[in-house]
A = this chain, B = another copy of it.
Amino acid sequence: MPRTTIHDIAKALNTSAATVSRALNDHPSISEATKVMVRVTAKQLNYQQNRMASSLRSGKSMVIGVIIPSAEISFFGSVIHGIEEVAKARGYNVLLFQSNERYQQEVQGIQTLLQSNVDGIIASIAKETTHYSHFLEAKRRNTPLILFDRAIEDLGVSTVVIDDYKGAYMATEHLVEQGYRRIAHIAGPSHIKIFHERLRGYVDALSANKLVVDEDLIVYGKVSIDSGRERMNQLLQLDLMPDAVFAVEDFTALGALQAIKETEFHQPGQIGLVGFANEAFSAYITPSLTTVDQQTNIMGREAAQLLLNAITGNANTETLPQKIVLDPKLVVRDSSRPPDQ
C-alpha cells in the first residue's frame, strides 16, 4: 500500500498539489477555508510529509549533524541532550556521528553528514586529531559549523567552550585557600588546548598565591582512570610529596583517589584532591569529589542556538565567528576538605 501524497489530497479535494503544499506549510496566500479543508483531509488520509522530497526540492533538510567522540562519556551525552532539546523545539532533527576519538572516523563523519545534506554541524574534536582541514570542507559547502569544548579557533568557526583557564585557576586557588601548599597537577596532553589551558590556570593560580611552581609536581597523563592512578603513584614516590592534587579531569582524579586509598595516607585530610568536569560519578564516590562543573547542558543549548542562528540568519550579513565562553562553577565537596593539623 503506497503512502498518501499531496496529490492524493489534491485529488480528493479537487484542487492542485501546489495548493495542498502551500496550505500545509501555512502559506499566507491560501484562504483559511482551504487550509482547514486540506488539514482535515490530510488527517483523514493519514498523510505524512515526505521530508526527503521536501528537502531535495527546498535545499533544506531540517537536520543538524553532531559529531562527538563517544556517546558513552556522560559529558557528551549531556551536551547532546542540550543540543537535541533546542533543535527539536525549532523543528530540527539530530543526526549523530561518533568518531570514537579517531581522526579517520571524524573525517568520514564530516563527509557523511555533508552528503546527507545536513543544514549545519556541531562537533567536538577527537583526541587523535591534530589537523583540521576536513572541517573546512563544511565551510566550502556553506554548511555552518560550530565546535564545542574541544575546539580550535584558527579555523574561523564559532565555538562554545568553558573558560578552562579560569576553572583550573579556581580549582587550584581553592586548594590553596583550604590550606594546602604543595599542590601537584596531573595534566593532559598539551596539544589539546583545553588541557593546556588548565595547566596554565594551575600555574598562574600558584604564582598569584606566592607558591613556587615545582616542575616535579607536574606530571602528564593520558586522561583516564588508569593513567590517573599511575601518575598519582609516581607523585607518591617523590621525596617531597605533594599535599594536594589538581587533576585535569574527573576520571584522572578518580584514578588518583584509588591510588591514594591504597596507601596509608588519608584522603581527604592528608592529601587534598580536585577534579574537573563534574562527571556524574563525582558526587557519589567517597569521599565525594570537589570538581569544576562544565555546564554541559547549557553548552549544548548554546551550540545549537549558535548553529541555528547561523543557519537561519541572513547569509548576507557577514557574521564573524562568535566565541561563547561559559563560566565554570567550582563544586566544593569532601575531597578538598582542609588538611588535618
Contacts and interface: CB of A to CB of B under 8 A. Distances in A.
A84 interface: yes
Interface in A92-116: 93-98, 111-112, 114-116
B72 A77 contact: yes
Q: Looking at A61, A72, A111, A112, which has the most chain B CB atoms within 10 Å of its CB? A: A72
**Copies of this chain, how many?**
2
Interface stretch (A29-37, A128-136, A277-285): A277-285
Interface residues on A, range: 35 or more
A209 interface: no
B96 A52 contact: no
A270 interface: no
A74 B80 CA distance: 12
A50 B114 CA distance: 8
Nearest to A95: B95
Contacts of A241: none
B93 A141 contact: no
B48 A52 contact: no
Q: Looking at A55, A71, A84, A112, which has the most chain B CB atoms within 10 Å of its CB? A: A71
A51 B285 contact: no
A81 B71 contact: yes
A78 B80 CA distance: 14
Contacts of A48: 111, 114-115, 141
Q: Looking at A72, A95, A284, which has the most chain B CB atoms within 10 Å of its CB? A: A284
B61 A72 contact: no
A223 interface: no
A117 interface: yes
A63 interface: yes
A46 to B, nearest CB: 9
Interface in A201-259: 254
A117 B53 CA distance: 10
A74 B280 contact: yes
B55 A284 contact: no
Given A71-B71, A98-B84, A285-B286, A116 B52 contact: yes
Contact of A56 (B3, B56, B111): B56
B95 A63 contact: yes
B80 A96 contact: yes
Contacts of A55: 52
Given A3-B141, A74-B280, A94-B96, A56 B52 contact: yes
A95 B96 CA distance: 6
Contact of A96 (B56, B84, B280, B286): B84
A51 B56 CA distance: 9
Contact of A74 (B50, B77, B95, B286): B77
A85 to B, nearest CB: 8
Interface in A33-50: 48-50
User: What 10 A-B pairs are tightest by C-beta distance, nearest first?
Assistant: A286-B286, A281-B281, A77-B77, A71-B77, A71-B80, A96-B96, A52-B56, A72-B81, A284-B285, A281-B284
8 contacts: A3-B141, A51-B116, A71-B77, A72-B81, A76-B77, A77-B77, A94-B95, A281-B281
